[in-house]
């Protein structure tokens, strides 16, 4: 007695949203397929760790945005940074990182790579062709971030790449600030573009994800192998959320960029503010480079207050109602974070000896964001002699 398939199950199903394929195990049709499963990499499916069709769909979307042939999505932006460095260096190699690198990359380089015998060199964050003075015969890789984390210096990516290419030095760039909507690193000769998809791609402060994109198949193979060896899985559910985030990415980016410029211009004129660190402003020393290379300004910038006591800073932060206090950025809700002066003073090439405040502008009404900051800065000024 054969059971017939119910009619509705025989119908084709199509939807506008991607399917979520969850898997640890992937099953094979035959003994031969199973034994040869490794040959399915770097694109195919052999075990859940290196992805399912949901992961591949996200990788394809991100590769399109980056103008890349290949992309690997991993569990976080930090995982993407490690995947873009660790497979490519060995003991005795020299790796250059920016003095304003993302903190997690700095820690990985100084605390882990150095212990494994890799020499770490630190270059000033606003460098250009002078990078050549930091290059050694054993320099294997230059890690670039533009602009610098928190302090927002603009390196000259073109000039750095020219030096690296002439010496066959590998380059990776953390492009999270600009996103591929404002800067496409591979088109500027960078070998690997890293994005913390946690930020703009996810866009709603509710997932962690990273992506490394490249045009070089050999690098892609090594990235996929690193994903398997280090165990940098990205969950299919989170890939789905990132795909959903990307549906509105361009709109969010445009709106947030506009509002961010407005807030930054307003802050620049405020008597309580010493300096706004944001290359899209004409007052920024990196403005010409930003204008030459970048087509957008994004949602993240920093500023330095006129000097004041810690109590005054606490009063500013604690009076805010629309801004939430927290790290990370790129979501729909505006955030503010505090980085004490000690962080800058501990740097090799400190851009300031003052504390830095960083804001991420979300999608709230921009006038209410400005009113919130205005109220906070009034609380600050009330406790500061420097402003009266
Ligand atoms: C947040 C961030 C990262 C790390 O991303 P996570 O997903 O939080 O690990 C890396 N680089 C930059 C520039 C970032 O802002």
> How remote is the CA of residue 306 from the centroid of ligand 1, in Å?
28
Whether 354 contacts 304, CB under 8 Å: yes
Asked, for residue 216, whether it belongs to a domain, the answer is: yes
Is 146's C-beta closer than 6 angstroms to any atom of ligand 1? no
Q: Which two tokens stand for residue 6?
A: 């119910």
Is 290's C-beta closer than 6 angstroms to any atom of ligand 1? no
Over the stretch 369-378, which tens digit does the pLDDT of each residue have?
999 999 999 9
> How remote is the CA of residue 7 from the centroid of ligand 1, in Å?
48
pLDDT band at 388 (very low <50, low <70, confident <90, very high): low
> How remote is the CA of residue 23 from the centroid of ligand 1, in Å?
26
Nearest C-alpha neighbor of 388 from the set 310, 378, 277: 378
Evaluate if residue 1 carries a pLDDT over 60.
no
Nearest C-alpha neighbor of 372 from the set 310, 325, 311, 307: 325
Is 210's C-beta closer than 6 angstroms to any atom of ligand 1? yes
368 and 219, same domain (yes or no): no
> How remote is the CA of residue 15 from the centroid of ligand 1, in Å?
32
Strands of 273-277's sheet, edge to edge? 273-277, 300-305, 356-360, 335-339, 324-325
Q: CATH code at 378?
A: 3.90.1150.10
* Residue having the nearest C-alpha atom to atom 8 of ligand 1: 77
Whether 173 contacts 211, CB under 8 Å: no
334 and 242, same domain (yes or no): no
What is the atom index within ligand 1 of the atom nearest the CA of 330?
Answer: 15
Over the stretch 141-181, which tens digit does the pLDDT of each residue have?
999 999 999 999 999 999 999 999 999 999 999 999 999 99
163 and 99, same domain (yes or no): yes
Whether 252 contacts 200, CB under 8 Å: yes
118 and 230, same domain (yes or no): yes
Over the stretch 96-147, which tens digit does the pLDDT of each residue have?
999 999 999 999 999 999 999 999 999 999 999 999 999 999 999 999 999 9
- The pLDDT of 304-316, averaged and rounded, is 96
Backbone angles phi, psi at 275, to 5 degrees: -155, 140
| Contacts (Cβ under 8 Å, ≥6 apart) of 370 | 262, 263, 266
pTM of the model: 0.96
Asked, for residue 261, whether it belongs to a domain, the answer is: yes
**How many domains, the chain?**
2
What are the E-state strand segments in the chain? 70-74, 94-98, 119-123, 139-145, 170-174, 192-196, 210-214, 273-277, 300-305, 324-325, 335-339, 356-360
Is 45's C-beta closer than 6 angstroms to any atom of ligand 1? no
What is the atom index within ligand 1 of the atom nearest the CA of 196?
Answer: 5
Is 176's C-beta closer than 6 angstroms to any atom of ligand 1? yes
């Amino acid at each position: 007695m054969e059971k017939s398939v119910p009619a509705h199950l025989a119908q084709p199903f199509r939807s506008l949203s991607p399917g979520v394929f969850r898997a640890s195990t992937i099953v094979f049709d035959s003994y031969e397929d199973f034994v040869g499963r490794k040959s399915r990499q770097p694109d195919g499916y052999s075990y859940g760790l290196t992805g399912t069709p949901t992961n591949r769909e996200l990788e394809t979307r991100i590769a399109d945005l980056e103008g890349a042939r290949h992309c690997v999505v991993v569990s976080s932006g930090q995982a993407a940074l490690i995947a873009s460095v660790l497979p490519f260096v060995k003991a005795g190699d020299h790796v250059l990182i920016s003095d304003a690198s993302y903190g997690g990359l700095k820690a990985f380089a100084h605390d882990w790579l150095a212990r494994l015998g890799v020499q770490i060199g630190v270059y000033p964050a606003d460098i250009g062709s002078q990078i050549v003075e930091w290059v050694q015969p054993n320099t294997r890789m230059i890690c670039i971030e533009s602009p610098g984390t928190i302090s927002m210096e603009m390196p000259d990516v073109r000039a750095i790449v020219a030096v690296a290419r002439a010496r066959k030095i590998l380059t990776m760039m953390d492009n999270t600030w600009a996103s591929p909507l404002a800067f496409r690193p591979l088109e500027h000769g960078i070998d690997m573009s890293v994005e913390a998809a946690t930020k703009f791609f996810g866009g709603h402060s509710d997932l962690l994800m990273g992506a490394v994109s490249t045009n070089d198949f050999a690098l892609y193979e090594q990235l996929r192998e690193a994903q398997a060896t280090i165990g940098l899985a990205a969950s299919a559910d989170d890939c789905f959320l990132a795909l959903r985030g990307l549906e509105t990415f361009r709109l969010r980016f445009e709106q947030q960029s506009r509002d961010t410029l407005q807030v930054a211009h307003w802050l620049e004129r405020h008597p309580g503010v010493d300096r706004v660190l944001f290359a899209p402003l004409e007052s920024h020393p990196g403005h010409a480079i930003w204008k030459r290379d970048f087509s957008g300004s994004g949602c993240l910038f920093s500023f330095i207050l006129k000097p004041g006591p810690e109590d005054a800073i606490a009063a500013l932060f604690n009076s805010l109602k629309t801004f939430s206090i927290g790290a990370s950025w790129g979501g729909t809700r505006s955030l503010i974070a505090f980085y004490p002066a000690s962080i800058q003073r501990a740097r090799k090439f400190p851009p300031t000896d003052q504390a830095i405040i960083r804001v991420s502008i979300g999608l709230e009404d921009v006038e209410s964001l400005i009113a919130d900051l205005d109220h906070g800065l009034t609380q600050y000024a009330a406790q500061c002699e420097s402003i009266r």
